[in-house]
């Protein structure tokens, strides 16, 4: 058996170029044990590009590590709403999709920050509607002739105008807030998840195929009669944790299972399984034996992550909490700190 290790990184949703996160990961693994790894070089293995961690010649029993990336964002490209009205309608549909599900409400007990993100989006959508409603109402009242209508309308006209006066400032502030508040990330992620779990039937098979194609090349690589890699580590970050799990859950080859480790960072698997019976079945299948070695990491300061209780029932499968320095769980920095965590990256080399 060779002393080589393959790491396949399955990234999450966002806007970034290929190898953005694989470069972050390679630099972290080298600094994690810089006494063992001399340099990072680009390499190509059976047509797949990778970043290779080259050990020092005298680093005894240090594995050579090849880091591959399953870049799938091109398959997930969705047109973004361009104007305020399309943006409002899209946000409304997204909020309705998540908040109208009884099972989703039950699942919210796993993560308080997700509640905050959904409620923030819901509040902004309501501000949009309230702003439009009050602006129209004010327009009607301001253009309403004082001598129009029956007696009770004439007598209440001044009271209506006085009641509307404080809302002038509120409408202005709401308009400014809507213009400058970025809820597009929440909306974009929610749209993708909705499409991945069924609204776009071809999205999940196409993305999973990208991961499986790379895994097949990695598993099939040989050196003589032995596999080229004695250990294959699949790392799923954020929504990539869902994709990585679904790609591995149906592997039934015992030889593959015995040398494969799944590491998931900041996944929302416990939450999303309530929106997808397919994902729930694959989690059950993976925990039941198709994924024999699974390490899951989450943080209470990461808005998209939470504990996966089913993993803590096994001896080798585990779900662990990490402490991050970021205090605001909705920030992107909190969601990316797994790439800088010694504890989260250690299973990739152990």
Judged on CB neighbours under 10 Å (0-12, 13-18, 19+), 278 is middle
Say whether both 249 and 158 belong to one domain: no
Say whether both 225 and 181 belong to one domain: no
Q: Where are the alpha helices (DSSP H) in 108-183?
A: 112-142, 151-164, 167-180
Please compute the mean of the pLDDT values over residues 130-143 and round it to a whole number: 68
What is the pLDDT at residue 107? 64
Min mean pLDDT across 121-130, 210-219, 281-290 is at 121-130
Say whether both 23 and 132 belong to one domain: no
| Domain closes at, from 190, 209, 233 | 190
0.75 surpassed by pTM = yes
What is the pLDDT at residue 81? 62
Q: What percent of the chain has pLDDT over 70?
A: 67
The verdict on residue 289 lying in a domain is yes
Say whether both 235 and 338 belong to one domain: yes
| Domain closes at, from 142, 163, 190 | 190
What is the pLDDT at residue 32? 81
Quick one: how far is CA 37 from the chain centroid? 30
As a whole number of angstroms, the longest Cα–Cα distance in the chain is 98
Residue 238 · residue 13 · CB < 8 Å? yes
Provide the CATH number for the domain around residue 65: 3.40.50.1820
Residue 229 · residue 4 · CB < 8 Å? yes
43 or 112, greater pLDDT: 43
158 or 303, greater pLDDT: 303
pLDDT tens, residue by residue, 160-207: 566 656 656 665 565 555 544 455 666 777 778 878 887 667 788 889
Min mean pLDDT across 44-53, 152-161, 233-242, 290-299 is at 152-161
The verdict on residue 41 lying in a domain is yes
| Domain closes at, from 140, 160, 190 | 190
Measured at the CA of 111, the angle between CA 106 and CA 115, to 5 degrees, comes to 75
What is the pLDDT at residue 67? 96
- Cβ count within 10 A of residue 311: 22
Number of structural domains found in the chain: 2
Residues in the chain: 350
- In whole angstroms, give the CA distance from residue 114 to residue 30: 33
pLDDT of 10 higher than 90: yes
Q: Where are the alpha helices (DSSP H) in the chain?
A: 20-32, 84-99, 102-107, 112-142, 151-164, 167-180, 184-194, 203-220, 239-249, 254-258, 269-272, 277-285, 332-336, 342-345
- pLDDT band per the 50, 70, 90 thresholds, residue 58: confident
What is the pLDDT at residue 180? 47
Min mean pLDDT across 128-132, 187-191, 200-204, 277-281 is at 128-132
Q: Which residues span the domain enclosing 230? A: 4-76+200-348
- In whole angstroms, give the CA distance from residue 259 to residue 5: 10
Closest CA to 248 of 202, 226, 216: 216
| Full strand arrangement of the beta sheet holding 260-265 | 37-45, 48-55, 64-69, 4-10, 231-237, 260-265, 294-298, 318-321
The verdict on residue 195 lying in a domain is no
What is the pLDDT at residue 162? 65
């Amino acid at each position: 058996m060779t002393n080589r290790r393959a790491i396949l990184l399955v990234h999450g949703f966002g806007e970034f170029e290929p190898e953005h996160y694989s470069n972050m990961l390679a630099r972290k693994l080298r600094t994690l044990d810089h006494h063992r790894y001399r340099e990072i070089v680009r390499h190509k293995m059976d047509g797949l590009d990778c970043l290779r961690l080259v050990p020092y010649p005298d680093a005894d029993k240090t594995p050579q590590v090849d880091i591959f990336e399953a870049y799938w964002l091109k398959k997930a490209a969705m047109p973004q709403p361009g104007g305020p009205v399309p943006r409002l309608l899209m946000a409304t549909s997204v909020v309705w999709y998540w908040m109208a599900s009884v099972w989703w409400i039950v699942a919210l007990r796993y993560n308080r920050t997700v509640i905050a993100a959904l409620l923030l989006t819901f509040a902004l959508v309501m501000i949009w509607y309230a702003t439009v409603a009050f602006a129209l109402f004010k327009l009607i009242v301001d253009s309403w002739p004082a001598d129009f209508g029956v007696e009770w309308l004439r007598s209440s006209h001044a009271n209506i105008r006085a009641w509307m006066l404080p809302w002038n400032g509120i409408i202005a502030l709401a308009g400014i807030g809507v213009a400058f508040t970025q809820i597009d990330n929440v909306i974009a992620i929610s749209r993708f998840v909705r499409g991945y779990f069924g609204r776009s039937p071809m999205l999940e098979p196409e993305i999973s195929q990208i991961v499986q194609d790379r895994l097949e090349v990695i598993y099939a690589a040989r050196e003589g009669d032995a596999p080229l890699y004695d250990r294959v580590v699949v790392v799923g970050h954020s929504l990539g944790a869902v994709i990585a799990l679904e790609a591995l859950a149906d592997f039934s080859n015992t030889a593959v299972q015995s040398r494969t480790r799944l590491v998931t960072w900041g996944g929302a698997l416990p939450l999303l399984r309530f929106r997808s019976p397919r994902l729930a079945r694959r989690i059950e299948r993976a925990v039941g034996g198709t994924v024999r070695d699974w390490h899951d990491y989450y943080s209470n300061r990461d808005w998209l992550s939470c504990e996966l209780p089913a993993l803590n029932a096994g001896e080798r499968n585990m779900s662990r909490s990490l402490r991050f320095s970021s205090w605001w769980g909705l920030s992107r920095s909190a969601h990316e700190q797994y790439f800088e965590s010694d504890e989260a990256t250690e299973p990739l080399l152990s």
